[in-house]
Structure formats: C-alpha cells, structure tokens
Amino acid sequence: MRDLIQDAAKGDRRSLARTLSALENRTIELAEVFEIIEPVEPAENVWQSLAITGAPGVGKSCLLDGLLTHWARAGLRVALLAVDPSSPRSGGALLGDRVRMTVVDDQDLKENIYLRSIATRKASGSVPLIVADMTQFLLAIGWDRVVIETVGAGQAEVRCAAIADRILVVEGPARGDGVQAEKAGLLELADAVIVNKCDLPGAEQHAGELRESYELGAGASPPVLLTSALHGTGIEDAASMLLALDASGRSERARWRERLLAHHERKILEAPQLDVLLEKLAAGSMTLDDVIRSIGANEHV
Ligand SMILES: Nc1nc2c(ncn2[C@@H]2O[C@H](COP(=O)(O)OP(=O)(O)O)[C@@H](O)[C@H]2O)c(=O)[nH]1
Ligand SMILES: [Mg+2]
C-alpha cells in the first residue's frame, strides 16, 4: 500500500486510480495516507474544489469539457470526480461522461487532466465523505483544483456538492415550470449559476427569472451567466469568472448545514457499535435519542 500511494503521489495514473479505489472501498483511511505522504501546500486565496451540479441533461459534462480545456491550457492541473448515481451496467452515463470529454484526446492537455467516475450505488459508506476524501487526496498530491460533477437530484448529491469550496449550479432554458433548482435547495447553495443551452429559446428568460429570485432574497446575488457548451459561446468568460469565484456569503450557512449533516451521517455509519445499537433499537431497549447520545459520546456498548 505504501508503494502504491507513493507512486500515485509521483504521478503514476494507475497507482492513482487504485489508491482512489481503496479510498472509495474504505480499505484505506485518509489518515493512513497522510502518514505516508507529505501533503502539498495549497495555493493561497483560491478555491481548491468546485462542485458543478444541476439536473441531468442540462449540459454539465459538455460545459466541463470546455472549462477544463481552458484551465488545462492555462497550465492548471485539474481532476474531475464525476459522481454518478447510475450503475455502470444500467446507465450509459458513466461511459457517456467519458466519451464527451474531448479534452483528454488533446495530447498537450491530457497531462493536466484526470477524470474519475464514482458509481454511488456501488459505494460502501457515505458518498459525500468518500468524495471529500478523494478530493483531499488529489489536492494533497499536487492537483491544483478538483471539480466534482454531481446530479443535483438527491440529498446525497447535494451533500457531495456541499463539501466543495465553491458550488456552480447549471440550469437549462426555461421549461415553463419555474425555477427547478429552487426545489432542491440548490439555489441557496450556489456561488454562481450558469444557464447553459443559450442557443435554445428560453435561456435568457430563465436567467432573468433566476436573477429576480436572487434579488428577492437577502445578501449579494451570485453571478448568473449564459453559455452554450454546444457552440462554445460564453465558455471562456465562464472559465475565467469561475477561477476567481468568491464564496457567496449567503451560501456559507447552507453549505455548513449540509456538511454537518454529512458528518453526522458518517459518524453514525462508521460507529463500531452500530450493529449492537440497531439490535437494541429493534428490541426496544434503547430509544433513537439514546443511540444518538451513545454515538456522540463514543460509548462502548
Ligand atoms: N442545444 C444545446 N445542447 C447542449 C448544450 N450543451 C449540452 N447539450 C446537449 O445536452 C445533452 C446532455 O449533455 P451532458 O453534458 O451530458 O449533460 P449532463 O447530464 O448535465 O452532464 C447532450 O446531448 C449535449 O449534446 C448546449 O449548449 N446547447
Ligand atoms: Mg454529466
């Protein structure tokens, strides 16, 4: 394991993939990794991780292809973790994500890019925390930025997004049913919004609706940009805007709420006495509050 991790840190892609799998399967803990390697100091005053989230089909992967191309050209080394709720067998999404990534076909750029999918159905343990561990590992071995693509559908995906330093929400043109992301509590978490597919009707209208709904809320509004990943419109502007993106003040509390929930979930799932506690719950000899207290206090039962 030591050799594997050291090789991964030196840049060997196969060792990197295997180390990430070990973190994913929880056969190794991040703490053990950090006993073996010295983490690279992060650059100051820039974000290290960015989550890109939004409904399936809005164009996140296409958009990322464009953004990663710009960032790789600028000399940044960027890793993409695609959190994929579909299983590799049932959905084409896993393959699809890779197929569309033309940035890795570019001989000059591919050294600066690393792509990795995480099939959430296969994952053992808490997905947001697995993603957090992988992100920390990639940063520790010298990747400049980690981008996390999630489908903003379920709570686990929202929590994956919340582990990142910044959150970009991607939307499509208006579908006449109001602001979709609002429902998932995503708009609250966004540091920036991109309305993609601006080559189609309804995109500008939707961007207008989003800006309006932000103005109604408290605090400064995050930037709302229009792009067409298909035609490359607005991608360069979006790429530079995102690199310098500040956390929107209003997203901070919502983000910490999600992180707290994810942390809590991990504590429960990883509690060594969990099986015993579940048995006691089933037998009626402990209440849910008792169990929470017991886990919080790290009690042995
Ligand atoms: N018209 C149009 N189609 C786009 C645009 N961006 C992506 N698409 C298409 O939308 C579909 C879904 O894109 P994908 O990147 O896989 O979406 P994701 O599920 O959000 O990652 C694909 O068929 C793309 O070709 C765009 O800017 N305009
Ligand atoms: Mg995608």
Q: Which residues of the chain have a pLDDT value below 70? A: 85-100, 121-125, 152-153, 175-184, 300-301
Residues lining ion ligand 2 (Cβ < 5 A) are 60-61, 97
Residue 62 near ligand 1, beta carbon < 6 Å: yes
Locate the ligand 1 atom nearest the alpha carbon of residue 96 and give its number.
16
Q: Are 195 and 210 in contact (CB under 8 A)?
A: yes
Residue 197 near ligand 1, beta carbon < 6 Å: yes
Three-state secondary-structure class, residue 130: helix
Amino acid 20: pLDDT? 95
Amino acid 160: pLDDT? 84
Q: Closest ligand to 63 CA?
A: 1
pTM of the model: 0.87
Residue 93 near ligand 1, beta carbon < 6 Å: no
Locate the ligand 1 atom nearest the alpha carbon of residue 58 and give its number.
20
**Can you say whether the dihedral through the CA atoms of 135, 138, 142, 145 is positive or negative?**
negative
**Ligand 1: distance of its center to the CA of 173 in Å?**
12
Residue 199 near ligand 1, beta carbon < 6 Å: yes
Q: Which helix (H) or strand (E) holds 82?
A: strand 78-84
Amino acid 153: pLDDT? 67
Nearest to 54 by CA among 176, 200, 210: 210
Residue 58 near ligand 1, beta carbon < 6 Å: yes
Residue 196 near ligand 1, beta carbon < 6 Å: yes
**Ligand 1: distance of its center to the CA of 196 in Å?**
8
Residue 174 near ligand 1, beta carbon < 6 Å: no
Residue of the CA atom closest to atom 12 of ligand 1: 57
The alpha carbon of 261 is separated from its chain's Cα centroid by a whole number of angstroms, namely 16
Q: Which CATH number fits domain 40-250: 2.70.180.20, 3.30.590.20, 3.40.50.150, 3.40.50.300?
A: 3.40.50.300
**What are the residue ranges spanned by the domains of the chain?**
1-38, 40-250, 260-296
